[in-house]
Amino acid sequence: MSEPMPTEGGLDEAELSALMDSVSAVAPLLRGVLGGGKGEGEGKGKCSRREALLLALKPYLSPERCDMVEYLIRISRISDLLRSLQ
């Protein structure tokens, strides 16, 4: 009997399939956290007070700092998501 052939990443087909199934199961959660584009209407849920404050400050910030605000909001949402999974 022949062994499964590993792919370029070093995973055989069964391991790769299991990994893809896991990613596809988590993808909708991450899409809600990371997706939605930029701007005031981010995400479907309501913003936390922390996010609302950061978004209120954006018009007064430089473009680089606005990008940082977006990054911090995404990190905050991922942190909240991971905390809820525990």
Give a yes or no: residue 6 inside a domain: no
Task: Give 10-residue mean pLDDT values along the chain (86 residues).
Answer: 56 76 68 53 63 90 92 86 79
Q: From CA 48, how far away is CA 80, in angstroms rounded? A: 11
Number of domains comprising the chain: 1
pLDDT at 45: 56
Residue 19 lies in a domain: yes
What does the pLDDT read at residue 42? Answer: 43
What local confidence, expressed as pLDDT, does residue 46 receive? 66
Range of the domain at 66: 13-36+44-85
Residue 3 is assigned to a structural domain of this protein: no
Q: Is residue 7 part of a domain?
A: no
Amino acid at 51: E
Whether residue 28 lies inside any domain: the answer is yes
φ, ψ dihedrals at 43, nearest 5°: 65, 170
Question: What integer pLDDT is reported at residue 32 of this predicted model?
Answer: 62
Quick one: pLDDT at residue 43?
46
